[in-house]
Amino acid sequence: MNQTPHRPEILAPAGDTQSYLAALAAGADAVYAGLKHFSARMEADNFSLSELAALADLGRDKGAKLYVAMNVLAKPGDLAAAGRLAARLARTVKPAGLIVQDLGLADAVRQAGYQGELHYSTLAAVTHPAGLAVARRLGADRVVLPRELSVDELKACAAACPEGLSLEVFVHGALCYNVSGRCWWSSFLGGKSGLRGRCVQPCRRLYTAKNRKARVFSCNDLSLDVLARTMLDLPQVTAWKIEGRKKGPHYVYYTTTAYRLLRDNPGDPAAKKTALGLLEQALSRPTTHYRFLPQRPQLPVEPEKYTGSGLFVGKTAGGGGGFSVSPRHALIPGDLLRIGFEDQPGHRVLPVRKAVPKGGKLTVPGGRGPAPAAGSPVFLVDRREPELMRLLSDLGRQLATKVRPEPAGAPEFAPSLPKPAPRPGRGKILRMTVVRRQGKEKVTDELGLWLMPRPQEPPRGLRSRAWWWLPPVIWPADEAAWNDSIAKARRAGAVNFVLNAPWQIGLFEGFLAQAERAAARPAPKGRGERSGRPEHPGQRERGERPPRPLNLWAGPFCNTANALAIAALAKLGFSGAVVSPELPSADLLALPAQSCLPLGIVTRGQWPLGITRAGLAGIKGGTPVESPKGEVCWAREVGDDVWIYPGWGLDLGGCEGELARAGYAMFIRLVEHKPKAVPTATRFSQFNWDLELL
């Protein structure tokens, strides 16, 4: 008997009504969209509730599900509004799922009565197999995996996927230079947080390194195209996701149609040829399969190529009296061109009024502000061909019959917060200095050391005293090495661990379960009885002391920002949390009074702009790189990852008095020694202390 082939959803993006209709016209199985609040793509048009309700109703008629993105970092004051919005969504739109990144927001929407699926966004940074079971424990129905994984790492995640959880994988669209959920670049430079959908894309700028100007952090687009069929053997992968909520209907229609062909006809050469032709016309940047093939990874950054959004069609020519473009591709009326890059003088958007043949001439009219420089790149960013417009017009008429007002009466909701933990008394604040390796660095009360993904013998005298920090990202290929490293540190007496993703507690499940079993049984005789500590099999024979109970803290890279997120961490087994220093002062000062765990905060040191797996394009680590605005950054390679640092540090030292009075129990300094080539900073940052953080 033949089995039904695995058929993952083709999940299409929609940032406006026309793109949503294009997804339906192309036969998408599901569409994801955002509202005008709580969406990680706030630069898209997004939808009102009534608009989205009508589109969802039309989509259900066509057999397409709707997933609504509420994938933002939630500040303390956001939870009530997010809950009310989720209740209105459930009543009016009836989405099949909500996409979230924040543990507290996930709890808030459940408290508000939302009963559909919960999908943890790629911004939640569930990056390794052991984290999947943790996500399921927190109520996830689906996890969106990082774009950086190879097919072998995807298989490892699929093998570890617990019952009741499915996986979603990006197959096409824009790539961020940094790992999703591990980028604070836009926020650190001015309060426009990528974790709250406000990223100004500083990685796309023109940078200068050693007198060479290039877009050294600007990535090509991801395109797995025919390689996506290798995931048809992974039934846990239930969705192929296309990125692009800021894209137009042409892109949505062409990419959705292409991947539907590739999924439904994996062995058909004609379908493959048609699909690849559609993707070539989808108005993308140059494309890459990135790290999908482990034996042939591709660096996604190619500074010598034009990486502006859209299809490169040529350069401007002329000057003085006017400019023109001789396009590499034929242009049709309704095409939309972007001339130059958004960070350069003369940038503008130009609609095409009449057909221009390939190699013809299109005159660029004058406009406000400076004219584009001769040789400026020109990109085709949207196309409204008549055939597609007719399809959308027909669907638009059907949509008009679905529009109806939202039911009267706004739901009331106030989140139920956990009982706050007792505040520390005066003089009980701990100060921790975190370093890569023990050296001559002056240490105050506590020493934090970054653990490495290899079995290592912790220095004597530090085994039980130090706080061992895990990195913000652990990849599937390294998980076994991390298990070995943690186990060795634990056997050597390590007690205090700082985990920089909530999901990393999955690496400690065996130790936690062992402690629970030991606590449930009477203390053994002998040394275990005297110490009150559980003994492991064979410890007496090896002459080892039984380990002390674990003290696990959620680190600052967990992006913890509200009381319900802290409560979720407590539920997982954390005994403290270091909150995100990205928050503004009012929110930071409000959190301790709401928190059920003791809190810490990073007040000094080098906070990274982001962490990437994309490597460096022709830049050596430690080389200063300067933006057009004079902002200097530099890179440090740590294992297989690259940490990007600003040339100036974080300093909230002058705010420690207020933070102590608010109830913080720990102040942390992150030490990352600046390379000699990087100029000494003349300023420090208070991050968003004095900003609103929209």
Arithmetic mean of pLDDT, 321-343: 89
CA distance 380 to 365: 17
355 and 392 both lie in a single domain:
no
Contacts of 567 (CB under 8 A, 6+ apart): 104, 107, 417, 418, 596
Distance CA 24, CA 66 (A): 11
Confidence band of 531 (pLDDT split at 50, 70, 90): very low
Tell me how far apart the alpha carbons of residues 273 and 253 are, in angstroms, rounded to a whole number: 17
| Residue at 364: amino acid letter | V
The three-class DSSP label of residue 407 is coil
H-assigned helices in 440-478: none
- In the structure, what pLDDT confidence band is assigned to residue 364 with cuts at 50, 70 and 90? confident
Q: What is the rounded distance in angstroms from the CA atom of residue 501 to the CA atom of residue 499?
A: 6
> In terms of domains, do 45 and 169 share one?
yes
Same domain, 465 and 488: yes
Is position 493 within any domain? yes
Smallest Cα–Cα separation from 44: which of 192, 197, 152? 197
Query: What integer pLDDT is reported at residue 320 of this predicted model?
Result: 56
Q: Residue 108's CB: how many other CB atoms inside 10 A?
A: 29
pLDDT tens per residue across span 367-386:
677 878 889 999 999 998 99
pLDDT digits (tens, 9 = 90+) for 646-670: 999 999 999 999 999 999 999 999 9
pLDDT of residue 635: 95
Q: How far is CA 289 from the centre of its chain?
A: 19
Specify the higher pLDDT residue, 437 or 71: 71
Query: Is the backbone of residue 94 left (phi > 0), alpha (psi -120 to 50) or beta?
Result: left
Q: What percent of the chain has pLDDT over 90?
A: 73
Q: What are phi and psi of 452, to 5 degrees?
A: -110, 155
404, part of any domain: no
Q: Rounded to 10 degrees, what is the CA torsion of 267, 271, 277, 279?
A: -70
Buried b / exposed e across 454-472, counting CB within 10 Å, b at 16+? eeeebeeebbeebbbbbbb
pLDDT at 529 over 80: no
Looking up tokens 């030991």 gives 518
617 phi, psi to nearest 5 deg: -95, 90
Last residue of a domain, one of 397, 420, 446: 397
Backbone torsions φ then ψ of 625, nearest 5 degrees: -125, 130
Strand partners, 604: 651, 669
Residues 370, 348: Cα–Cα separation, whole Å: 10
In this prediction, residue 439 carries a pLDDT of 66
Question: Residue 208: beta bridge partners?
Answer: 213, 626
Report the CATH number that the domain containing residue 71 is assigned in CATH: 3.20.20.60
pLDDT of 541 strictly over 70: no
Residues 346 and 471 placed together within one structural domain of the fold: no
Residue 211 in any domain: the answer is no
613 lies in some domain: no
For residue 535, pLDDT over 50 is answered with no
CB atoms within 10 A of CB 611: 22
Both tokens assigned to 507: 């690496």
Q: Tell me: the pLDDT tens digits for 3-35?
A: 556 899 999 999 999 999 999 999 999 999 998
Which strands make up the sheet holding 311-319, listed edge to edge? 348-351, 336-339, 377-382, 311-319, 322-325, 362-364
CA distance 73 to 197: 9
Token digits of residue 539: 């410890």
- Tens of pLDDT, residues 264-317: 999 999 999 999 999 999 999 999 999 999 999 999 998 888 888 899 999 998
Give yes or no: residues 476 and 574 share one domain: yes
Q: What digits encode the pLDDT tens for the residues 452-465?
A: 886 555 566 666 78
Domain count, the chain: 3
| DSSP β-ladder status, 377-382 and 311-319 | antiparallel
Domain end marker among 349, 382, 415: 382
Q: Look-up: residue for tokens 């969406």?
A: 39
Reported as a pLDDT band with limits 50, 70 and 90, residue 40 is low
Residue 319 belongs to a domain with what CATH number? 2.40.30
CA distances from 50 to 53, 267, 405 (A): 5, 42, 6
357 with 392, same domain: the answer is no
Question: Are 370 and 435 within one domain?
Answer: no
The DSSP-derived string for 504-554 is GGGGGHHHHHHHHHHHHSPPPSTHHHHHT----TTHHHHTPPPPPPPEEEE
The candidate with the shortest Cα–Cα distance to 120, out of 183, 46, 67, is 67
Considering the domain boundaries, does residue 592 fall inside one?
yes
Give the C-alpha separation, 360 to 99, whole Å: 46
pLDDT band at 552 (very low <50, low <70, confident <90, very high): very high
Asked if 224 and 324 sit in the same domain, the reply is no
Q: What is the pLDDT of residues 495-509, one digit of tens each?
A: 999 999 999 999 998
Query: What domain range includes position 522?
Result: 430-603+654-670
293, 285 Cβ separation under 8 angstroms? no
- Greater confidence (142 vs 544) lies with 142
Same domain, 29 and 164: yes
Burial of 115 (0-12, 13-18, 19+ CB in 10 A): exposed
Instruction: Give the CATH number for residue 477.
Output: 3.20.20
Residue 585 and residue 479 share a domain: yes
pLDDT at 540: 43
Q: Which of 435, 418, 371 is nearest to 577 (CA)?
A: 418
In a domain, 619, yes or no: no
Task: Identify the residue whose tokens are 């370093």.
Answer: 435
Number of C-beta neighbours around residue 587 at 10 A: 19
CB 41 within 8 A of CB 19: no
Q: Does residue 590 lie within any of the structural domains?
A: yes
Report CA 46 to chain centroid distance, whole Å: 19
Alpha helices in 545-675 (DSSP H): 563-572, 585-590, 656-662
Residue 349 lies in a domain: yes
Q: What are 212's strand-pairing partners?
A: 209
Question: Tens digits of per-residue pLDDT, 559-578?
Answer: 999 999 999 999 999 999 99
Dihedral pair phi/psi, residue 434, rounded to 5°: -110, 125
CA–chain centroid gap for 269, Å, is 35
My answer on whether 434 and 358 are in the same domain is no
- Range with the poorest average pLDDT among 7-11, 137-141, 556-560, 679-683: 679-683
Q: Which of 36-40, 171-175, 447-451, 599-603 has the lowest mean pLDDT?
A: 36-40
Taking the C-alpha atoms of residue 157 and residue 150, their distance in angstroms, rounded to an integer, is: 11
Distance CA 348, CA 89 (A): 37
Q: What is the pTM of this model?
A: 0.92
Give yes or no: residues 450 and 546 share one domain.
yes
- Nearest residue to 110 (alpha-carbon basis) of 140, 67, 145: 140
Q: Across all residues in the chain, what is the average pLDDT?
A: 90
Question: Residue 445's pLDDT is what?
Answer: 82
Distance CA 71, CA 245 (A): 13
